[in-house]
Amino acid sequence: MHPIPVSISLSSYGADYVRQRGQEQFIDLLARAGARRVELREELFSCVPDPLALGAVIAGAGLDCVYSTPLELWAPDGQPDIRVTQKLHIAHELGAAAVKVSLGHYHTGCDLTALRELVPAQGPRLLVENDQTSQGGRIAALLAFFQRADEAGLGVGMTFDIGNWQWQGEAVEQAASQLGRWVQYVHCKAVRQLADGRLAAAPPQVADLQAWDRLLAQFSPGVVRAVEYPLVGDDLLQVTRDQVRHLAVLGLGAPAEEVSHA
């Protein structure tokens, strides 16, 4: 395993393929590829897992995990989604380091006290990610939330998704400068525009890795970074191993390697 921890979001292997096989079937692959963390995706479970059993498999492979849920932290009525407590409990049974959610419909009238009552003082960390939506993918809303969370004594951190800023036309460098103090987990993905104009996640080219290297140098040294772009090929172990190697050196000032494609 590499000294700087790399995570793999299991969505990277394709939603249909992961649902068919089961997320637990990828644990050994990740460990053999040198990853340090698996990001479990709630939306990819075809049936409700036994979190204690799955957590034992993950720990047995020498990995830690993050539990990702599509839950939006703040509902349209300005109240925190009470299901966040359930998600944190599942993560606790998994032995997860954190639960990843999106911001949702936060505004200055939202009650941070109500959120504090839903988030235990001990247990997995709550990480809020910038998603691709207008409500949860803009710098101003996220900055306002994290500043008020600090004032309220909430130990909430950020998942910084490098690619997602493009969906809202936000500058990633500005986002890193203003939000970097809260970043505890980084999603890496390149973004390409398709023929029909839509944006899509893509594996990085050398220029992407160089940009990510500069970006991660602004965050806490050794911050966990995750693959969240397509991992495809005949030899998934080698494909995964190559991408883990690329991400493990980001932020260290090392020159970007030539990117291998299976």
pLDDT score, position 259: 55
What is the Cα–Cα distance from 74 to 145, expressed in whole angstroms? Answer: 11
Q: How would residue 256 be classed by pLDDT, with cut points 50, 70 and 90?
A: low
pLDDT score, position 3: 77
AA letter at 231: L
Pick the closest to residue 33 from 12, 56, 55, 54 (CA basis): 12
Q: How would residue 254 be classed by pLDDT, with cut points 50, 70 and 90?
A: low
Strand partners, 10: none
pLDDT score, position 123: 87
> What is the rounded radius of gyration, in angstroms, for the C-alpha atoms of the chain?
18
Residues 6+ apart with CB under 8 A from 169: none
pLDDT tens-digit series, residues 88-128: 999 999 999 999 999 999 999 999 999 999 998 888 999 99
Q: How would residue 262 be classed by pLDDT, with cut points 50, 70 and 90?
A: very low
Q: How would residue 261 be classed by pLDDT, with cut points 50, 70 and 90?
A: very low
- Average pLDDT estimate for 242-258: 81
CATH 3.20.20.150 fits 6-248, yes or no: yes
Asked if residue 17 has pLDDT above 60, the reply is yes
Reported residue count of the chain is 262
pLDDT score, position 252: 81
pLDDT tens-digit series, residues 35-75: 999 999 999 998 888 999 999 999 999 999 999 999 999 99
DSSP 91-135: HHHHT-SEEEEEEES--TTS-HHHHHTTS-SSSSEEEEEP-SSTT
- Average pLDDT estimate for 202-231: 95
Pick the closest to residue 204 from 259, 125, 139 (CA basis): 259
AA letter at 195: A
Task: Name the more confident of 251 and 162.
Answer: 162
- Average pLDDT estimate for 187-211: 96
Q: Which of 15-19, 21-25, 250-254 has the lowest mean pLDDT?
A: 250-254
